Homo-oligomer: A and B are copies of this chain.
Amino acid sequence: MNFSISEENHIKWIYHLQQKKGLVNTNSLAAEMQTKAASVTDMLKKLKAKKLLQYEKYKGFKLTEMGKKTALNVIRKHRLWEYFLSVKLGFEWEKVHAIAEELEHISSDELIQRLDDFLGNPSFDPHGDPIPDSFGKIPAIKQYNVLQLPLNKKAVVSSVSNQSPEMLEMLKHHKIGIGSTLQSLKHFAFDGSIEIKVLKNATCILSEQVAKNIFVYYD
């Protein structure tokens, strides 16, 4: 089935809200989407008619299985584009979200599958949010802080929680980026710093202050 941009946006936000609260109500969706309650009601009727939404007047609402699948596909597209913008085009993370809000509505399924492969089937976007697969399944993989990483275990950098220019400069210098493979070699008790091997590159030392912002995953 084919959805308008507005429909996709509503579905996406309902998904996010129901993840926290179960049932969603009109006002909170309107607030989240910066629109009015009456507009939300109109859209709810439309989504119900398309069998994307379980909705009874005045009783709140939540997505059907089909609605959830649709939401997860939009979220998948959003996060893959974020990864692309950040890792391939070198965008600062603050700028990535707004552009992905547009790109997530491009409709071609083959585009997304090819983009996914081109990016190396990443599991997390640059904010550390998991990227659903084409079936809507969210990867079971956990993320760890580098400081928690078992010694010598190879792991892939999935996100960096502080993206200040100073942090980015430091990561660039050590050739650490999202997608880099690294190994934790040693912890120093004196100052909490750790020695890291960045695969295909040199070894380096990261202060605790830096390391606590770097997240990785492994299988």
Contact = CB atoms under 8 A, between A and B. Distances in A.
A207 interface: no
Interface stretch (A101-109, A120-128, A161-169): A101-109
Interface in A78-109: 85, 88-91, 95, 98-99, 102-103, 106-108
Contact of A118 (B88, B103, B106, B115): B88
Instruction: Classify chain A: how many residues form its interface, as a range.
Output: 10 to 19
A51 to B, nearest CB: 26
A110 interface: yes
Contact of A106 (B91, B99, B110, B114): B99
Given A89-B114, A89-B115, A118-B89, A106 B108 contact: no
B111 A89 contact: yes
A110 B95 contact: yes
Number of copies of this kind of chain in the complex: 2
Nearest to A85: B111
A90 B103 CA distance: 19
Contacts of A108: 98-99, 102
A114 B110 CA distance: 23
Which of A98, A111, A118 is most buried by chain B, counting CB atoms within 10 A of its CB?
A111
A107 B102 contact: yes
Nearest to A118: B89
Given A99-B108, A99-B111, 16 more contacts: A85-B111, A88-B118, A89-B111, A89-B114, A89-B115, A89-B118, A90-B114, A91-B110, A91-B114, A95-B110, A98-B108, A99-B106, A102-B106, A102-B107, A102-B108, A103-B106
Nearest 6 pairs between A and B by C-beta?
Answer: A89-B114, A99-B108, A102-B106, A89-B118, A99-B111, A103-B106
19 contacts: A85-B111, A88-B118, A89-B111, A89-B114, A89-B115, A89-B118, A90-B114, A91-B110, A91-B114, A95-B110, A98-B108, A99-B106, A99-B108, A99-B111, A102-B106, A102-B107, A102-B108, A103-B106, A106-B106
